[in-house]
Structure 1
């Protein structure tokens, strides 16, 4: 599967197309220390171009593009395609085009592993971006690790993904906020910031739900709080009204739910039937367009952890959203967060690839752990995203609380919009 045909992309606000391309080329080349002149001159001429017939740099991409998780898998694909297009516009990798080698894992662990085997052992590709579902990722990690092949996870958030191997030995990196920090953030919000003590926990029976539930229980226990109710449910559940009635009867002031888009839509749609009056919060899948649409707007007021929130006052983000929508055409963008994190992941990893002078494996791993120049992304500015002790790009200060309001996501706290526009340095 090849990327969609190129579509024209508008420049960033206040930046002409040629200058924007020049700045991107300078960042890529300077990241490898290959062109001091480019780094010093913001508008060099001529711009780098792709060499006709040059062998492409192939990048693996594995996500669910069909089935129940296709909404955020296709959003991630759109982000990767947009980044690839921009990099190729400024000459790719020293004249070699970047090419995505795409595989659909259908949110199925065995298919995810088969895709990993194919890309790493048979294709092969220089590195891989992949996985939206924690269970699918966990099934596949040892393929990348055994072959010393860099996997950058831009979407899946299960805490275990980057904990399976010690960072000093691991080839697994992540540019999404792991559930451990999302769960801590949610507990801090309801228990500390809002002073609520009666919390109900809802979680699906997948590995993702199990991991999130365990994180929530641990952080609640650290605050001296025990959940008044814990409800588990399978994917495909049609109603959670009875469970919400039980939560209401137990006096739950807030429900924190760990699941994916369709089931979180069911949870929100069940609120009215159950007459549940407390808060509803969840990790980042609560932001999927599916949640609003399939709940018939019943998600109004539901809160979610986000790494990026649309903000008309942030030119960099709004320019990215405009370019992404132009590239997507009629394809719906179900998850801005999945698209933006994947866009940043490809740009960031290509800078490391330049720094590694086109070498994969151990050299690319080392470059990611010792990135020489900051990457100014659309989600955040990554200065030192990774080290040989930490392969997660996010810390708790880099995420925000958003809320569904009339079909759109907005910051719960207006002051967060100001903070999000400032570089949030990763904390240890």
Structure 2
């Protein structure tokens, strides 16, 4: 089921299986930990589809490609997978990579169900074949901004690195804060050390510092520097992109990593399906599954329903998005086109603002829902 990367044409194409191409970051500089969780969810769902008889008696086969957070590598993988006869494309975590994959898939007429990338502008133009499980960044990050505003923050700082994703996030936060009379200032982490960022924060008077940077570097050193600075004892450190969700965060930061609010896309309580899948994912991963693992599971579940109902023709799958109604691990999944969107979107997955409990860093606290 999990086929490792292979040279173009090296895999058989005898039509015995229904093939789904999968894009995941499994090596650096990609966030391999998130990729591992995403792949676990994709693989679990595919195994269950096959245990239930597959697609019209044909097994689902996942052809997995490691993107390593490289947009060009992802685009090349999409072209390769299209040539190998996949019926659809699934996965990806990094927004800039998913954006390149979506463009390549759209050009080839290959349906793409994106699992975890949230960038609003995932496509430059309307793309009938592209759909997404994860909520758009503007939806989740506005909820995060509302949480901060509700907690009394009116001036926040973002420690940012250059990327389309981080710039988009900064813009969403700035617009939301401005609408409520608040302010967002930006620290360019290309020009500042973590210690220098602490100096800027102390001088600025912002009451929260949000990490819009890569993990573990420079996110971990920034948190450590803020926690060591006594003059910043009252500062809230936040990570809207979800870095504290994964075990490596707690492993690297220990108690310093607690009390850092982040976004995750899980319900307050799972129904029977979500609870069963959560148990199976925990066994598969050997640790608590992140929301990314559930996104992976839901992706293959939706694609399986599309394949059962509309067949393996790519054009018919691309036409299926607005007609699907699938019970996912986190609620009923239906697709629509939100205003201004160029893709089909599940509107919306549940959104939580969560942190690790300072009294017990291995436990998560739900601080806000939206």
TM > 0.5 fold call: yes
Q: SS at 2:46's partner residue?
A: helix
Provide the rounded CA distance (Å) in 2 between the counterparts of 1:380 and 1:293. Answer: 31
Q: Residue deviations 1:247-280, cap 9 Å, x none? A: 1332211122223431433332222123322212
Corresponding residue for residue 2 of structure 1:
2
Q: How many angstroms does 1:302 deviate by?
A: 0.6
The structure-2 alpha-carbon separation of the partners of 1:256 and 1:111, relative to structure 1 and needing over 3 Å to count, comes to same
Could you say if the C-alpha distance between residues 94 and 388 of structure 1 is closer, same or farther in structure 2, counting changes exceeding 3 Å? farther
- What is the CA–CA distance in structure 2 between the aligned matches of 1:74 and 1:318, rounded to whole Å? 20
TM-score, normalization by structure 2: 0.86
Q: How does 1:255-294 map to 2 (within 5 A)?
A: 255-262=209-216, 263-275=218-230, 276=232, 277-286=234-243, 287-294=245-252
Deviation at 1:314, TM superposition (A): 5.5
The correspondence for 2:260, drawn from 296, 302, 323, is 302
Q: Residues 364 and 103 of structure 1: is their aligned pair in 2 closer, same or farther, counting only changes over 3 Å?
A: same
Task: Say yes or no: does 1:143 pair with 2:104.
Answer: yes
Q: 1:267 to 1:321 in 2, by over 3 A?
A: farther
Residue 407 of structure 1: how far off its partner (Å): 2.9
The 2-side partners of 1:314 and 1:274 are apart by 43
Determine if the alignment matches structure 1 residue 364 to structure 2 residue 326: no
Flag the 1:388–1:291 CA change in 2: closer, same or farther, 3 A.
closer
Which residue of 185, 206, 216 corresponds with 2:143?
185
Contact 2:154–2:181 (Cα < 8 Å) also in 1: no
- Are the equivalent residues in 1 in contact too, given 2:38–2:91 (CA < 8 A)? no
What is the match of residue 165 of structure 1? Answer: 125
Tell whether the 8 Å contact from 1:264 to 1:291 is kept in structure 2 after alignment.
Answer: no
Distance 1:115 1:54 in 2: 20
CA separation of 1:267/1:179 partners in 2, compared to 1, >3 Å: closer, same or farther?
A: farther
* Cα pair 1:150 1:360 within 8 Å, conserved: no
C-alpha distance in 2 between matches for 1:391 and 1:403: 30
Greater per-residue strand proportion: 2
- Residue 194 of structure 2 is aligned to residue 240 of structure 1: yes
Equivalent pairs counted in the alignment come to 351
Q: Distance in 2 between matches of 1:363 and 1:314?
A: 31
Q: Give 5+ residue unaligned stretches, structure 2.
A: 5-13
2:182 — aligned with what?
225
Q: Give, in angstroms, the shift of residue 386 of structure 1.
A: 3.0
For 2:78, the equivalent position in structure 1 comes to 116
Aligned partner of residue 392 in structure 1, secondary structure: strand
RMSD: 2.7
Distance across 1 between alignment mates of 2:167 and 2:248: 22
Q: Give the SS at the match of 2:355.
A: strand
Q: Compared with structure 1, are the counterparts of its residues 394 and 278 closer, same or farther at alpha carbon in structure 2 (3 Å cutoff)? A: farther
Map 1:14-413 → 2, pairs under 5 A: 55-68=16-29, 69-120=31-82, 122-162=83-123, 164-166=124-126, 169-191=127-149, 193-227=150-184, 229-234=185-190, 240-262=194-216, 263-275=218-230, 276=232, 277-286=234-243, 287-308=245-266, 315-329=272-286, 336-356=290-310, 358-371=311-324, 374-382=325-333, 384-387=334-337, 391-395=344-348, 398-405=350-357, 406-413=360-367
